[in-house]
Structures are given as C-alpha cells and as structure tokens.
C-alpha cells in the first residue's frame, strides 16, 4: 500500500505531494518539526511532543494552522490510515510559501506536512551500546526550539560516522550539551547527571520520561552542566531519543566509558522504559 501523507490538511499518496520551491522551509530552513514514536499503533507521549511543537512555533513566531487537539487527531488518523504499528511520525510546519526575502512574508500561510515511517526498535544497538566521539557544539543559542535548521547537527553526525562512531556528543567550551540528535546522560557515583533543560539543548521527550523513571526508582538525578572530563570519567553514559530510546555509550573518542559495556543503571532504566512503552 502506497504511504498516505497528510499535507495541507489533505490525505495524499506520497507521489502526489507537491512542495513549492518557494517554501521557506526549503531555502531558509524556516520551520519547526517533531518526530513522534508509535508503539502498538499508538502515539507515544503525543501531548508532550505537541506542547514542544507549540513552544518551538512560538519561539520562531510561526502560527500553527491547527490547534493541538486537531493536530493530534490528524496524526492519529495518519497512523490509522497507514496501518502503522511500530515506527515514527514526522510532522513539520514551515512559515509558508513566498518569493525569497528574509523578512516574514505578510500573506504567507504555514505549510504543514506529516507522514509516517515503519521503524523497528533498535534492540541490538540498545543491547550492545555504541561508540561516540566528541565535537564542539557550534549551533545557535535556541537549541530548545526544534527547528528545521539542522546543518550543524548534520555535519556533527556525519563527522562522527566518518570517524567510525554512531554519534557526536557536543560540548560548548568543555560543557557537554547533548548529541547531534539525542540527549546525553551520565551515571557518576550512583547519580544520573544531565544538562539542564535550558536554551542550549532540546528538551527531549525521552529525556523527560527517563528522568521520571529515575525519580520513580529513587535514582538521584542532577540536572546540571557537566564537563567532558566528567563524561570521560563516568561509570556509565547513554543517549536518549525518540528513535534510539536509551542507547548506551560504551566508548568516547576511542576510550571505554566505565567497564566499556552497558552499565547496571542504564540497564535498569531500559527495563523501566520497556514497561512504560508497553503500557
Ligand atoms: N531528534 N536533541 C536533539 C538535537 C534532537 O534532535 C533530538 C531528537 C533529541 C531527543 O529528543 P526526543 O527524546 O524528544 O526525541 C535531543 C529527533 C528524533 C530527530 O531529529 O530525528
């Protein structure tokens, strides 16, 4: 069955979606997006994703063309129409279509697109862990907005792959922020440490779920800046994100993290996460 896209509030087969070359998303990256997880045919943490979409849109002064309840019901319908059980939903809203000029076009209406993709849970990677490298975080100072401008993230991820690693852990002057497409947590002296949810990181939905799970099982949590030296000396480290869930980091820049294999706190959180998504 050909995938059905939701585009400008219409249901269309993928090949019938026509994006204008004048779409500001295309030449300015002028838009916001979300990636939702679908487990068992249901959107996971939909309200949290939609609230973040609203915050991102407000942050870059885009007026969402639908209220969040309408958006949610359209995305649920998208999942139903495509018969998706396990995968992701991608949703993006650009500022609209107008001849190229930096100023906001007064008449442009936002352009909305959503589609879903079958994506299996990365069980093997979650079991084995991954290698990461470190890189300077060269992004702008509104990383809490999930915008289409991902060039620095793309370059960091590609550079990591070229160096044989799964991801790049980013730092600003030695303070670890997040990775190219996920949040970063370390376990040090039994405490779970992660960068505070401020303007320097995306406020990850998976991050929030993991922190809730840690609180629920009385793992001490510190949301504070931590250094590259702390990352290197950590007992455990892992990445969190919608598609990767909780991905252990077993080496950083070629040196093992802790015992060089996924650690017990990471494992425990993975098990709790598993229970949370299976409802
Ligand atoms: N990325 N940090 C960045 C820079 C991200 O791009 C993402 C998600 C996260 C994790 O957020 P969440 O737990 O809400 O997925 C953190 C998505 C999946 C992407 O761009 O594909």
Return the pLDDT at 279.
64
Ligand 1 pocket test target in 32, 33, 34, 35 with most atoms within 8 Å of CB: 35
Q: Are residues 265 and 227 in the same domain?
A: yes
Pairing verdict, β 167-172 and 130-136: parallel
Predicted TM-score (pTM) of this structure: 0.98
With a cut of 70, which residues of the chain have pLDDT below it? 1, 279
Return the pLDDT at 2.
78
Return the pLDDT at 40.
96
Q: Are residues 140 and 192 in the same domain?
A: yes
Q: Report CA(204)–ligand 1 centroid distance (Å).
A: 6
Nearest CA to ligand 1 atom 20: 181
Domain-terminating residue out of 85, 119, 153 = 119
Q: Are residues 258 and 154 in the same domain?
A: yes
CATH number at residue 246: 3.20.10.10
Distance, in Å, from the CA atom of 58 to the CA atom of 73, rounded to the nearest integer, reads 21
Could you tell me if the CB of 205 is within 6 A of ligand 1? yes
CATH number at residue 32: 3.30.470.10
Distance, in Å, from the CA atom of 271 to the CA atom of 153, rounded to the nearest integer, reads 29
What positions carry a catalytic annotation? 146
Return the pLDDT at 27.
93
Could you tell me if the CB of 207 is within 6 A of ligand 1? yes
In tens, the pLDDT along 232-250 reads 999 999 999 999 999 999 9
Q: Are residues 61 and 147 in the same domain?
A: no
Region for 189 from its dihedrals, namely left if φ exceeds 0, alpha if ψ lies in -120 to 50, beta otherwise? left
Task: Show Cβ contacts of residue 18 under 8 Å, excluding neighbours closer than 6 positions.
Answer: none
Q: Are residues 105 and 175 in the same domain?
A: no
- Total Cβ atoms within 10 A of residue 173: 8
Domain-terminating residue out of 99, 119, 139 = 119
Q: Are residues 167 and 132 in the same domain?
A: yes
Return the pLDDT at 118.
98
Q: Are residues 180 and 236 in the same domain?
A: yes
Atom of ligand 1 nearest to the CA of 241: 13
Q: Which of 244, 241, 238, 177 is nearest to 207 (CA)?
A: 241
Domain range for 259 is 124-277
Ligand 1 pocket test target in 202, 208, 209, 244 with most atoms within 8 Å of CB: 202
Q: Are residues 95 and 61 in the same domain?
A: yes
Q: Are residues 183 and 259 in the same domain?
A: yes
Q: Are residues 176 and 262 in the same domain?
A: yes
Nearest CA to ligand 1 atom 11: 204
Q: Are residues 88 and 205 in the same domain?
A: no
Domain-terminating residue out of 104, 119, 134 = 119
Q: Are residues 27 and 65 in the same domain?
A: yes
Tokens of 26: 């295309």
The total domain count for the chain is 2
Cβ pair 178, 201 in contact under 8 A: yes
Could you tell me if the CB of 241 is within 6 A of ligand 1? yes
Return the pLDDT at 80.
98
Q: Report CA(84)–ligand 1 centroid distance (Å).
A: 21
Pairing verdict, β 245-252 and 130-136: parallel
């Amino acid at each position: 069955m050909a995938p059905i896209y939701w585009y400008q509030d219409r249901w269309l087969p993928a090949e019938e979606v026509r994006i204008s070359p004048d779409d500001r998303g295309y030449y300015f990256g002028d838009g916001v997006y979300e990636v939702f997880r679908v487990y068992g045919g249901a959107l996971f943490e939909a309200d949290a994703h939609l609230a973040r979409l609203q915050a991102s849109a407000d942050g870059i002064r885009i007026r969402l063309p639908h209220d969040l309840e309408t958006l949610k019901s359209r995305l649920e319908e998208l999942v139903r129409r495509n018969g998706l059980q396990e995968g992701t939903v991608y949703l993006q809203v650009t500022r609209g279509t107008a001849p190229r000029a930096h100023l906001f076009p007064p008449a442009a209406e936002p352009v909305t697109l959503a589609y879903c993709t079958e994506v299996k849970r990365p069980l093997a990677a979650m079991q084995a862990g991954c290698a990461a490298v470190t890189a300077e975080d060269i992004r702008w100072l509104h990383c809490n907005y999930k915008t289409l401008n991902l060039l620095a993230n793309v370059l960091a991820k590609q550079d990591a792959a070229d160096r044989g690693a799964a991801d790049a852990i980013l730092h600003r002057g030695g303070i670890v922020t997040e990775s190219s497409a996920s949040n970063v947590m370390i376990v040090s002296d039994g405490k779970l440490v992660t960068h505070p949810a401020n303007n320097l990181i995306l406020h990850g939905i998976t991050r929030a779920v993991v922190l809730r799970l840690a609180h629920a099982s009385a793992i001490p949590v510190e949301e504070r800046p931590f250094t590259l030296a702390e990352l290197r000396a950590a007992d455990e480290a892992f990445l969190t994100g919608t598609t990767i869930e909780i991905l252990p980091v077993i080496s950083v820049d070629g040196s093992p993290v802790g015992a060089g294999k996924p650690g017990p706190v990471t494992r425990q959180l993975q098990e709790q996460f598993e229970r949370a998504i299976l409802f």
